[in-house]
Amino acid sequence: MGASPDYGPDFERLREQDPEVAQVLLDEVARVRGGLQLIASENFTSPAVLAALGSTLSNKYAEGYPGRRYYGGCEVVDRAERLAIDRARELFGAEHANVQPHSGASANLAAYAALMQPGDTMLAMALPHGGHLTHGSRVNFSGRWFDVASYGVRRDTELIDYDEVRDLALRHQPKLIVCGATAYPRLIDYGVFRGIADEVGAWLLADVAHPIGLMAGRAIPSAVPYADVVTFTTHKALRGPRGGGILCTAELAARIDRAVFPFIQGGPLMHAVAAKAVAFGEALRPEFADYARRVVANARTLCDTLAAEGMRPVSGGTDTHLALIDLRELGVSGAEAERRCAAAGITLNRNAIPYDPEPAAVTSGIRVGTPCVTTQGMGLQELKEIGSLVARVVRDPGAVADVRERVSALAAIHRPYLSEY
């Protein structure tokens, strides 16, 4: 894998010049090496991605697009952005790609700006049912600026209620329908959403921030053939730098590009754009398809193990990289489970379950995901053990010391940025 990022030559320079910040970097590497990362939205980028992120491309102002910049001297960084665009289009079979959004939230803001005016109606998944803040939450610009109708999951199946989506679409006549979620463990039927959008004359936006890496690796069906616009992040299962992106039809290309720049952003982060190009290049390799398949297989094993330990998976299982676990039968809140796991070196997040009686700061559930541990090289056997360890420490805080010991042993074998992946 090459030089470790905490011990490379540039790191030594940082350590001499600014030991306080250097120590933060060292401590963070030590933190992830010392435990297990089960946060479904995190991953470990490759050292090649980190090298691009830590490059002099960070210095360059490049407002505009390749060949059409508002600054001189962009001929070199243009090549990075063209590589990122071409690779994204090839990877996802998209007619157009914009690789400048700084994040998934920025990608959604730009997509909404391209397709709607303030006051227009959008239909999206409710946050407490697995949606995202940018899908119309009142505390977010999306809920403030647009008239939002929300759909959720059925109480009995905990699956998206496509009949409800259609009824709401017919009733509200939205300009835009959003499909996609942050805590929905099942496949989304983009074809059904396309049909509903066509029936009411709405644009269809698929926010695939979470499963984009699985789509890149062909482990689950892609949203690209169905949606007018696809927004995504690059740092989750895709394993790239922190950032966002947008794929769209040729018809919407100019609108999307104008919405990203100059409407919502100024200069793109060219080091991040170059790092996205690296990540797309990595995802085009056959090894990435293998990685994506293992992420899903690992998530299933983790979910099945938790279920066998009496921890109920919402919707009964998972088809993706994550599982949502209902803890009510154990009498432990999501917040308490998060604390108990953290004490044992297992990092995961509390998460609302559908129809959760608890407030968002407490919740009745936890969300677990396998992108990080899979990148570290862990497989089904390790995921079974991790499931048992999570169950044990969530049930019994007295088991923290024992569980921590096993977690340390597992982490010591699969240390991020030290072993090959």
Cβ within 8 Å of residue 354, ≥6 positions away: 128, 129, 130, 152, 153, 155, 158, 314
CB of 159 to ligand DSN, least distance (A): 19
* Shortest Cβ 53–ligand DSN spacing (Å): 19
Q: Establish whether 242 is a catalytic residue.
A: yes
Which residue, among 273, 238, 252, 234, has the nearest Cα to 65 in the 3D structure?
273
365-369 and 322-326 beta bridge pairing = antiparallel
Q: Which is nearer to ligand DSN, 39 or 200 (CB)?
A: 39
* Residue that the structure tokens 């499963």 belong to: 211
- How near is the Cβ of 143 to ligand DSN at its closest, in Å? 15
* Spatial separation of the C-alpha atoms in residues 225 and 194, rounded to whole Å: 10
Residue entry with tokens 């936890």: 366
State how far the Cα of 267 lies from the Cα of 265, in Å rounded to an integer: 7
DSSP 201-229: T-EEEEE-TTTHHHHHTTSS--STTT-SE
- Minimum distance from residue 55 beta carbon to ligand DSN (Å): 26
Of 74 and 348, the one with the shorter C-beta distance to ligand DSN is 348
Q: Which residues pair with 160 in a beta bridge?
A: 153
Min dist CB 210 to ligand DSN, Å, is 6
Active-site hit among 6, 207, 228, 336? 207
The amino acid occupying position 347 is: T
- Residue 279 Cβ vs ligand DSN, minimum distance, rounded to whole Å: 18
Rg (CA), the chain: 21
Of the pair 181, 270, the CB lying nearest ligand DSN is at: 181
126 alpha carbon, distance to own chain's centre:
17
**349 bridge partner residues:** 367
Task: Name the active-site residue from 233, 234, 305, 318.
Answer: 233
DSSP-based helix, strand, coil % in the chain, nearest 5: 50, 15, 35
Active site residue 207: yes
Task: Answer yes or no: 61 catalytic.
Answer: yes
Which two structure tokens, joined as six digits, stand for 244?
A: 């966002």
Out of 236, 367, 395, 404, which one is annotated catalytic?
A: 236
**Catalytic member of 82, 89, 154, 242:** 242
3-state secondary structure at position 69:
strand
Residue 189 main-chain phi, psi, to 5 deg: -90, 90
**Which residue, chain included where needed, has tokens 């007018």?**
228
User: How many whole angstroms separate alpha carbon 352 and alpha carbon 74?
Assistant: 46
Secondary structure of residue 128 in the 3-state scheme: helix
Active site residue 63: yes
Q: Measured from the CB atom, is 231 or 252 closer to ligand DSN?
A: 231
* CB-nearer residue toward ligand DSN: 41 or 137: 41
63, 95, 164, 189: the catalytic one is 63
**Min. distance of Cβ 16 from ligand DSN in angstroms?**
35
- Which is closer to ligand DSN, CB of 140 or CB of 376? 140
Give the CB-nearest residue to ligand DSN: 41
* Residue 274 vs 292, nearer CB to ligand DSN: 292
Residues that bind ligand DSN (CB under 6 A): 41, 104, 132, 182
| Residues assigned a catalytic role | 61, 63, 207, 233, 236, 242
